[in-house]
Structure 1
Amino acid sequence: MNNNQMNKQQYAASDEATELDAEGHDRTLSPWMMVALGVFSAAYALFHLAVLNFWSIDEWVYRVLHVNLGAVIAFVGLKAWRGEHRSRVPLPDWLLVMAAIGCSGYIIVHLDQLIMRTGVITTAGDFICGALGTLVVLEFARRVSGLVLPIIALVFVSYIFVGPWLPGMLRHSGFQADNFFSFLYSQEAIFGMTVAASSRYIILFVAFAVFLQASGAGQYFMRLAMALFGGTRGGPGKVSVFSGLLFGTVSGSAVANVVASGTFTIPMMRRVGYPRESAGAIEAASSSGGQLAPPVMGAGAFIMAEITGIPYSEIILAAALPCLLFYIAIFLTVDRQALRLGLQGIPRAELPKFSELVRDMFMLLPLVVLLYLLMSGYSIIAAGTWGLASTLLVMLCRELNLPSTLLALPLALFVLLPLTGIQVNFAGAIATLLSAGLIIILAVFQGRVGELPNAFRAIASLTYSGMGDSARKSLQLISVMACAGIVVGVLGLTGLGGRFSSLLLTAAGNSEELAFLLAMIISIVLGMGMPTTAAYAIAAAVVAPALQQLGVSALAAHMFVFYCAVISAITPPVAIAAFAGAAIAGGKPWPTSIRAMRFGLAAFILPFMFYTSPEILLMGSWVETAHVFGTALIAIYFIAVAGEGQLNGKASAIERVLAALAALLLLWSSLYTDVAGLVLAAALILWSRRREGLSLQAAD
């Protein structure tokens, strides 16, 4: 097979994997329509940045424009169905565009009156606006995220009308259609807490991710992973794990992570001998876990902060240790499998040099600025805005062919200026403008004046296209948050959420462990085939309250259901991330998803620690947290041993069972279980070493 054929196969596999992300199918419109759509998309992103930073408008109006203008982009730019071959926008889509704009205008014009009467006194206009607006949201979500969530939302809408005839706990007294749709199209439902989170943070952090990639950080992540782990045993698999963590710090989609890094890592894994299903599974597990990685957590951190009222900084700190354990668990499992299969790494001569990576480390300036401002207590919006601005400095440096070490200057300014007491937005503006000026002056002194016009044009072009891409890549998250608002609104209006919590507790009886197991199953089922953010939003409304009634803290309960929502991406029968990995690797989807579950096994176990050992979420003293983390590290090693059957050589079936038992005892984290687990673990290691020694003697 020649290189052209291999490249074509890789592109086809990547396209097949991308299809699973259900982010819509772009239309091929006339040139003037494509230009108009691009300008509108860039303006849409800039509108958000303006409102978030200096243009104050009513919150309800902002959320309505956030959803409906995004819907306009989707109805014009995306096909209504996959097989559509039209190169123009059909009449039904223009009618949807008019409905989205009309509903926005109605809310803006009648805002004061609506605030007073929504859900109580409903006019004909209110009813028409609510019904049309709900239809717009449902079609918006269907077009960019698939059928699953809109169908679930329609089931809940139907429940409003059939509820009076249902038996038992499902019965409610009924609601008038006009009042219901007026309520649904308000800040109590569609434009409630889920859209509040998406309108404040989604565009900002998607833009940050887009510009970070454009600045070259994505390539740097991959080179760093290759240099660190490419040459080790089964190196490409470990590269996949580490790059999944790095990409996940700013990405919001498991399938997007698989496509972004898997097209590079999966062929490398195949080259050194990984089976197709294992290669796809490793990439799927690591890419899904990227949504557990702070600071973005697949946008889940923002939604969790909105729902629970827990500070965002507290959430991302609490998420750090469980995320680290998850990735160490995958890493160890990959290592054990490489040992079992006898896989080697990539020759060191083919790997990036550490000296080059150290020299280019300042390319990570935007990520450092973002994390520094977040951890220093500044607002999420300020941190995201100036992290985004700093990507332009990286691009300017690159376009002028200046060494990246020059970016140490803006790094110092972003760190030091806020410490002087200057308001953070002024400090960010000063740091950005001063750094840009100094970079330009240095280019002039080096005789690169002629390169400045081209550099400015390149950055202007990248900024324009980056804003448009940010709007396009945000559509899925925006639509699913609006559609999830329908479900959350119905749950609140009918009281079904509270009754479901009571049912879950009744089914579990007096067993808290059974309650958590049922909560995990329900959360995973709810999340199948849906983006993580929507799955979490619904599970947070349905399942988390039941866990809180057991006395579990809000942080632990919501982190539990969030983990379950994330692992639904690798759980059969609708394991979208695993199926994407299988498409790229050329493997079978179901075996790939089963293996992805095995690599990501820790993600099915760690959430129970949030109940048994809340110290892992930093809910305790540092000594307690260190103790829990230390025993968990030993436990996940034995999970890898149990899964891959490798402990100083091939482990027997009994040894694998005992390794799993030792892991479970250590994860429970009480004095007695820790002692028992450590004793069993030590006995296993000593026995395996003795067995291996006897085997070597017999061989001699």
Structure 2
Amino acid sequence: MESTRHASDGRVPDGRGPGANPGFEEASASAVERASHFDSEGDDRQLGRTATRIIVVASCLYALFHLAVLNFWAIDEWMYRVLHVNLGAIIAFVTLRGFPFEKINRVYPWDILLALAALGCTIYVGMNLNMLLMRAGVITTPGDFACGVIGTIVVLEFTRRTSGLVLPLIALAFISYIFLGPVLPGILRHSGFQTANAFSFLYSQDAIFGLTVAASSRYIIIFVAFAVFLQASGVGDYFMRVAMACFGWMRGGPGKVSVFSGLFFGTISGSAVANVVASGTFTIPLMRRLGYPKEDAGAIEATSSSGGQLVPPVMGAGAFIMAEITGIPYAEIILAAALPCLLFYAAVFVNVDKHAQRLGLHGVKRADLPRFSSLKGDVFLLLPLYVLLYLLLTGYSIIAAGTWGLVSTVLVMLARELKLHSTVLVLPLILYTLAPFAGYAINVASLGASLVSAAVIVAVALATGRGSWSVAPVLARTCLDGLSDTTRKSLQLISVMACAGIVVGVLGLTGLSGRFSSVLLDIAGDSTLVAFILAMVVSIILGMGMPTTAAYAIAASVVAPALQQMGVAPLAAHMFVFYCAVISAITPPVAIAAFAASALSGGKPWATSVRAMRFGMAAFLLPFMFYTSPEILLLGSVGSTVFVFATALVAVYLFATASEAYLFGPIGPLERLVALTAGILLLWANLASDVAGLALAAALFAWCRYRGGATRLA
């Protein structure tokens, strides 16, 4: 197949994705559209050419505005957050249909009114900024009240258009609680608040423009842009080909390719459904062609794509939000997430392997796979990821690392358009590596590295006869499309962070968070295990039907404080809640990632979600280690961490055995129960439980091995 020869000359691939390569089969456009529907990102309008051009320019300016403020142009933090939310809302009201009955090529009067309302609130805050900083939520003028009410409505409608009804309805319920609290019984009762002050409070840095929007305004645009440009530069295609070369030939190969691709695509995006669509478009047809049942193919993709948000350094923007909420350093969070992430993907990988073994699924023929010799020359495509991680690990800010990682993707695209050998990217790799030692501010040094690299790449192209002025408009168009797409893909995350701010603000205003913690503690009594189980249930319920980032932001305010009151370390409590928010995407009855994957595979949604829970069994059990075995979060000595990780690897193997009912052959319910019990014992950092778990595991292995041998002899 042509995939074996793709980019074998070492030139930078064209970046059109796996679909550009005949070796990769793609899902149909209708299936992709059905899958995307589960993300509730809104229906894009198809306006006239002039209107579309204006929107593209506005979207590009919106993205560039963020990059400029974050790197070069200092403005007031509250004003920046207001512009971040309201300008995004204006773009959404113009570009997204509000209701199914609306014509797709028309903007309606209510859309214009909403856009003008967002603009008016922005102007009002800008004109009264200094006074609002002192009186918001305390002394409210009629103008403050009107701005608070209108601005809150704008945020709710913005969220509804991009994310569906779930989160706006939750926010409305919390807003209602402000006014109904005085008449409610028992623990839900509060003394009440003046209506004007309540809405002024909601439209302030204590609620809508609080911690959640602080995180989205600083990081989301940069890392969504990074993901968009990374895909355009051909890195996504490269990772898919590497995955096929590494795992495609193995037992159940496409399923293992799905695990790897989910890990890559999932870390950048904050949406499990977007991850499913990005990688599942290619991996699900491959699995189906090999013989995977529809529901199994969808379940593997849903599980691996959801788990991608557990992967450092971005964690689907969850790492940034966690750092903002807890005050824990970002570097500490991503290091703590590393081992649990490895365990999760080890568990899914083993589960997929046992599943393929049970079904007798083989890999793809080696002749039909990309060859490693064709991949070596493309290794420098990883320049943007190197720049991002290098600057992060050398102590520079998240913003600087994300910005120059983004700029480096443009260098990759330039080399691609000039059809140069990918080794030309060695120079920018060296220059970015030396930038921190140049004696200048990192932005100045990296800018110099970028300009010199671009000049040399162009000079090499001219010297080899590949230079052409036609490259400039093509690259400019690619960058414009990338910036415009960045804004479009950011709207959902921006809106849900603003709407989640309403919930967080009400919890703080009314003291409900503390009272909820008291209730949870009363139910749990002295049992930390019961508290964790209740916290998981509540977190998963809160996260159903919502993007992970919003689910975590809300659960972190409702559930995490209760765990911390029981003596759980803040990092462990918040990491636990974040894991629960992630797995809510594959948990029935609203398993949006599994439902999206079923649309791509053609399987039954509910059956797919049940299978996804089985493939992701470890994700429902591993988070309990954050309390029982805090060493897994690097909260212990090196020796104890290594031991805990080793026993956890055995545990996830046992969970896969229990899930797939296979160990040297099919096993029955009793053996599955023993495997599950042994795995749970090994997750508990206790010498007695480890010994018991290992003894049970050894007995199970011996029995299944003996029975398998006896069966073959018979």
TM range (shorter): over 0.9
Q: Which residue of structure 2 lines up, in the alignment, with residue 679 of structure 1? A: 695
Cα displacement (A) at 1:420 = 3.8
Which of 375, 378, 387 is 2:405 aligned to?
387
Determine if contact 1:252/1:296 at 8 Å carries over to the other structure. Answer: no
Determine if contact 2:223/2:268 at 8 Å carries over to the other structure. Answer: yes
Q: Does 1:183 align with 2:191?
A: no
Q: Which residue of structure 2 lines up, in the alignment, with residue 422 of structure 1? A: 440
Per-residue CA deviations over 1:265-285 (Å, capped at 9, x if unaligned) read 111111111111000000000
Q: Which residue of structure 1 lines up, in the alignment, with residue 470 of structure 2? A: 454
Give the whole-Å Cα distance in 1 for the aligned partners of 2:438 and 2:26: 55
Which of 224, 246, 249 is 2:267 aligned to?
249
Q: Which residue of structure 1 lines up, in the alignment, with residue 586 of structure 2? A: 570
Q: Which residue of structure 2 lines up, in the alignment, with residue 647 of structure 1? A: 663
Determine if contact 1:556/1:617 at 8 Å carries over to the other structure. Answer: yes
Which amino acid is 1:657 matched to?
Answer: L
Instruction: Give the length in aligned residue pairs.
Output: 691
Give the whole-Å Cα distance in 2 for the aligned partners of 1:661 and 1:24: 45
Cα displacement (A) at 1:86 = 4.4
Cα displacement (A) at 1:288 = 0.4
Give the whole-Å Cα distance in 2 for the aligned partners of 1:166 and 1:662: 47
Which of 496, 502, 513 is 1:480 aligned to?
496
Which of 159, 170, 178 is 2:177 aligned to?
159
Which of 533, 537, 557 is 2:573 aligned to?
557
Determine if contact 2:576/2:626 at 8 Å carries over to the other structure. Answer: yes
Q: Which residue of structure 2 lines up, in the alignment, with residue 234 of structure 1? A: 252
Cα displacement (A) at 1:690 = 1.8
Q: Which residue of structure 2 lines up, in the alignment, with residue 328 of structure 1? A: 346
Q: Which residue of structure 1 lines up, in the alignment, with residue 385 of structure 2? A: 367
Q: Which residue of structure 1 lines up, in the alignment, with residue 164 of structure 2? A: 146
Give the whole-Å Cα distance in 1 for the aligned partners of 2:661 and 2:202: 53
Determine if contact 1:221/1:247 at 8 Å carries over to the other structure. Answer: no
Which of 508, 514, 520 is 1:498 aligned to?
514
Which amino acid is 2:527 matched to?
Answer: S
Which of 268, 281, 306 is 2:299 aligned to?
281
Per-residue CA deviations over 1:225-270 (Å, capped at 9, x if unaligned) read 1110001000010010011001123222111111111111111111
Give the whole-Å Cα distance in 2 for the aligned partners of 1:85 and 1:91: 13
Per-residue CA deviations over 1:173-200 (Å, capped at 9, x if unaligned) read 1111111111110000000000000000
Which amino acid is 2:120 matched to?
Answer: G
Q: Is the alpha carbon distance of 1:669 and 1:8 closer, same or farther for their aligned partners in structure 2, counting shifts above 3 Å?
A: closer
The 3-state SS of whatever aligns with 2:313 is coil
Which amino acid is 1:363 matched to?
Answer: L
Per-residue CA deviations over 1:129-156 (Å, capped at 9, x if unaligned) read 0100000000000000000000000001
Which of 209, 212, 215 is 1:194 aligned to?
212
Q: Which residue of structure 2 lines up, in the alignment, with residue 11 of structure 1? A: 29
Cα displacement (A) at 1:593 = 0.2
Give the whole-Å Cα distance in 1 for the aligned partners of 2:166 and 2:99: 15
Per-residue CA deviations over 1:358-384 (Å, capped at 9, x if unaligned) read 110110110111011111110000000
Which amino acid is 1:84 matched to?
Answer: E
Which amino acid is 1:17 matched to?
Answer: A
Which of 623, 635, 646 is 1:630 aligned to?
646
Give the whole-Å Cα distance in 2 for the aligned partners of 1:507 and 1:227: 52
Structure 1 stretch displaced more, 686-695 or 371-380: 686-695
Determine if contact 1:525/1:568 at 8 Å carries over to the other structure. Answer: yes
Structure 1's unaligned 5+ residue stretches are: 1-5
Q: Which residue of structure 1 lines up, in the alignment, with residue 423 of structure 2? A: 405
Q: Is the alpha carbon distance of 1:261 and 1:423 closer, same or farther for their aligned partners in structure 2, counting shifts above 3 Å?
A: same
Give the whole-Å Cα distance in 1 for the aligned partners of 2:510 and 2:460: 65
Cα displacement (A) at 1:87 = 1.6
Q: Which residue of structure 1 lines up, in the alignment, with residue 599 of structure 2? A: 583
Q: Does 1:49 align with 2:67?
A: yes
Structure 1 stretch displaced more, 277-286 or 654-663: 654-663
Q: Does 1:612 align with 2:628?
A: yes
Determine if contact 1:631/1:669 at 8 Å carries over to the other structure. Answer: no
Give the whole-Å Cα distance in 2 for the aligned partners of 1:501 and 1:376: 39
Cα displacement (A) at 1:422 = 2.8
Q: Does 1:107 align with 2:125?
A: yes
Determine if contact 2:438/2:445 at 8 Å carries over to the other structure. Answer: no
Give the whole-Å Cα distance in 2 for the aligned partners of 1:184 and 1:462: 39
Q: Which residue of structure 1 lines up, in the alignment, with residue 308 of structure 2? A: 290
Q: Does 1:592 align with 2:608?
A: yes
Structure 1 stretch displaced more, 576-585 or 420-429: 420-429
Give the whole-Å Cα distance in 2 for the aligned partners of 1:319 and 1:154: 34
Per-residue CA deviations over 1:60-92 (Å, capped at 9, x if unaligned) read 000000000000000000000233224221111
Determine if contact 2:36/2:596 at 8 Å carries over to the other structure. Answer: yes
Q: Which residue of structure 1 lines up, in the alignment, with residue 283 of structure 2? A: 265
Give the whole-Å Cα distance in 1 for the aligned partners of 2:320 and 2:439: 27
Give the whole-Å Cα distance in 2 for the aligned partners of 1:251 and 1:359: 28
Q: Which residue of structure 1 lines up, in the alignment, with residue 554 of structure 2? A: 538
Q: Which residue of structure 2 lines up, in the alignment, with residue 3 of structure 1? A: none
Cα displacement (A) at 1:13 = 1.1
Q: Which residue of structure 2 lines up, in the alignment, with residue 689 of structure 1? A: 705
Determine if contact 1:161/1:174 at 8 Å carries over to the other structure. Answer: yes
Cα displacement (A) at 1:649 = 1.4
Structure 1 stretch displaced more, 415-424 or 149-158: 415-424
Cα displacement (A) at 1:621 = 1.3
Structure 1 runs (4+) greater than 4 angstroms displaced: 6-9
Give the whole-Å Cα distance in 2 for the aligned partners of 1:442 and 1:30: 41
Q: Which residue of structure 1 lines up, in the alignment, with residue 93 of structure 2? A: 75
Determine if contact 2:27/2:281 at 8 Å carries over to the other structure. Answer: no
Which amino acid is 1:74 matched to?
Answer: A
The 3-state SS of whatever aligns with 2:446 is helix
Determine if contact 1:30/1:88 at 8 Å carries over to the other structure. Answer: no
Q: Which residue of structure 1 lines up, in the alignment, with residue 535 of structure 2? A: 519
Give the whole-Å Cα distance in 2 for the aligned partners of 1:547 and 1:541: 11
Q: Which residue of structure 1 lines up, in the alignment, with residue 221 of structure 2? A: 203
Which amino acid is 1:617 matched to?
Answer: L
Which amino acid is 1:180 matched to?
Answer: A
Q: Which residue of structure 2 lines up, in the alignment, with residue 94 of structure 1? A: 112
The 3-state SS of whatever aligns with 2:137 is coil
Per-residue CA deviations over 1:643-685 (Å, capped at 9, x if unaligned) read 1111111223222111111111111121111111112212222
Per-residue CA deviations over 1:563-611 (Å, capped at 9, x if unaligned) read 0000000000000000001111100000100000000111100110001
Cα displacement (A) at 1:115 = 1.0
Give the whole-Å Cα distance in 2 for the aligned partners of 1:282 and 1:28: 34
Aligned alpha-carbon RMSD (Å): 1.2
Determine if contact 2:26/2:285 at 8 Å carries over to the other structure. Answer: no
Give the whole-Å Cα distance in 2 for the aligned partners of 1:467 and 1:70: 14
Q: Which residue of structure 2 lines up, in the alignment, with residue 300 of structure 1? A: 318
Give the whole-Å Cα distance in 2 for the aligned partners of 1:529 and 1:479: 15
Determine if contact 1:529/1:574 at 8 Å carries over to the other structure. Answer: yes
Per-residue CA deviations over 1:514-539 (Å, capped at 9, x if unaligned) read 00000000000000001111100000
Cα displacement (A) at 1:614 = 0.7
Which amino acid is 1:636 matched to?
Answer: V
Cα displacement (A) at 1:687 = 2.1
Cα displacement (A) at 1:513 = 0.4
The 3-state SS of whatever aligns with 1:249 is helix
Q: Is the alpha carbon distance of 1:389 and 1:8 closer, same or farther for their aligned partners in structure 2, counting shifts above 3 Å?
A: closer
Determine if contact 2:552/2:581 at 8 Å carries over to the other structure. Answer: yes
The TM-score with structure 2 as length reference comes to 0.96
Per-residue CA deviations over 1:470-493 (Å, capped at 9, x if unaligned) read 001000000000000000000000
Cα displacement (A) at 1:44 = 0.2
